[in-house]
Amino acid sequence: MSKVIMIQGTMSNAGKSLLAAGLCRIFKQDGYRVAPFKSQNMALNSFITKDGFEMGRAQVVQARAAGIEPSVYMNPILLKPVSDMGSQVIVNGKPVSNMPARKYFAYKKQLIPDIIHAFKKLEEQADIIVIEGAGSPAEINLKADDIVNMGLAKLVGAPVLLAGDIDRGGVFAQLLGTLMLLEPDEKELVKGLIINKFRGDKTILDPGIVMLEERGNVPVAGVIPYMKVAIEEEDSLSEKLEQSQKGLIDLAVIRLPRMSNYTDFDVFEQLSGVSVRYVHNVRELETPDCIFLPGSKNTIGDLLWMRQSGIEAAVKKLSKTTPVIGICGGFQMLGESIADPFGIEQGMDAPGMGLLPIQTTLTKEKTRLQVTGTIDHLSGVWSCLNGSPYEGYEIHMGKSTAVNAASSKEKKVGQSPKQPSSDLPTVVCSENGMVCGSYVHGLFDEGDLAWKLVKMLADKKNVTLEALQSGFDYKKFQESQYDLLADTIRQHMDMDFVYSILREAKI
């Protein structure tokens, strides 16, 4: 039977996901079979497994750190917010329905058998399961029928390491306050505390650690420094969204209100001289070298927001001379129209931006599949991508078709052995060769696709980027970052203490 350990946090964005990924990597390096687990995740960044199921990307990162294939058993419940009051509920990788928060709160206890089933499936293949909690275990309004923090820890007998974020201030109050609000049987599960994201001289912190251990009666297992690792984050509070500095090549991503899968653009951040800015008004947009329209959990709603904010008009004007790329929902927005006959989103039809010759109808069934192939037959500035292999995944509500017969006869390229989601090419280009779009998430992660795009932009701008090499391998780079994460945690966490917790855990 697997040993388990759980990372909980005093708040959202305390660093639970990275700490869990780091432990997954450490245990893998030490020769154990490891699997991550998060019973319930709320995120707009999601992933499609090889068997076509949807899960949160945080557990995908942790699975890759553990050196194993992502599985929906690692994240049996995924909530994708569709409004301020409700979410699409995805159970075992398939959407169940959209639910307002109160309805889901009453419904979630029915999902405990699904959680137990998923956990037991992981036990069949792992020596150690690293569990990630969500938010804070001390949220009084959410403690009833808890299935993701202390409720889950009690269910599977998991010892808990509680992490607090010192970078945001008040870490001693965070940790002690959380301990004080836990029930006695819950506090008993907390075996160690972690002070996360520390900057500076640790010796200055030592008196506070002594006080923390005395008052909390729980040892501090580690003081983890603020880590500059290039590992994708899922939290909307991510610092990358506040990036405003421009590089020689300036990429602008439209920061939609319900933006999803913005990790599609992480690869560009690793290229020297390239900046990725997330912009949410016309003033911030300015005149970038390329514009990305990302995925959206409410495509029509976000398109209307672009229209009302003036961003749509600005993008359309810039598209005459500036390359524009739409991915998934952004791809749909660039078309001629979006119809919603089944009330999937707004219950209304909307004209698109008119920059690509496609029309989209939102459908009841969600497309979920991995795709591989080769890009071909692109024109204009995008011709630099021709001949490039790619792999990624599609995840969307809706089907897009060409607006006219001429477009529909265009040669299909890059198709997966699985049935593609439309009769369109993998990447669709505009007539003027400046705008393109695709349903494929992770399109630029493979090979040197990202480099080819940036090289085209540099040539177009007549600038030279230092250390820009076509041999950059993003996936190999990610592996090095998992090792860096593990090395840092090993150095600053008492791993002997962590292993002792695992040995003593009651399953």
Distance CA 495, CA 204 (A): 23
Q: Which residue in 66, 64, 68 sits closest to 476, CA to CA?
A: 64
Q: Which residue in 209, 196, 227 sits closest to 487, CA to CA?
A: 227
Distance CA 418, CA 68 (A): 23
Distance CA 123, CA 117 (A): 10
* DSSP 8-state assignment for residue 271: S
Three-state SS for 229-243 is CCCCCCCCCCHHHHC
CB contact set of 97 (below 8 Å; sequence gap of 6+): 88, 89
Distance CA 486, CA 490 (A): 6
Alpha helices in 291-421 (DSSP H): 299-309, 311-318, 329-333, 405-408
Going from the C-alpha of 348 to that of each of 144, 329, 340, 362, 431, the distances in angstroms are 37, 16, 5, 10, 28
Q: Which residue in 394, 407, 375, 252 sits closest to 329, CA to CA?
A: 394
Residue 149 and residue 133 in contact, taking contact as beta carbons nearer than 8 Å: yes
SS3 content of the chain, % helix, strand, coil (to 5): 35, 25, 35
CB contact set of 84 (below 8 Å; sequence gap of 6+): none
Query: Quick check: is 328 catalytic?
Result: yes
Q: Which amino acid is at 170?
A: G
Residue matched to tokens 């998992």? 482
DSSP state string for 260-283: E-GGGGGGGGGSTTEEEEEE-SHH
Q: Which of 328, 384, 429, 436 is catalytic?
A: 328
Residue 158 and residue 20 in contact, taking contact as beta carbons nearer than 8 Å: no
Q: Which residue in 66, 2, 68 sits closest to 29, CA to CA?
A: 66
Residue 31 and residue 180 in contact, taking contact as beta carbons nearer than 8 Å: no
Count CB neighbours of 148 within 10 A.
23
Q: Which of 280, 396, 441, 492 is catalytic?
A: 441
Torsion, CA 234, CA 237, CA 243, CA 244, rounded to 10: 140
Among all residues, which ones are annotated catalytic? 328, 441
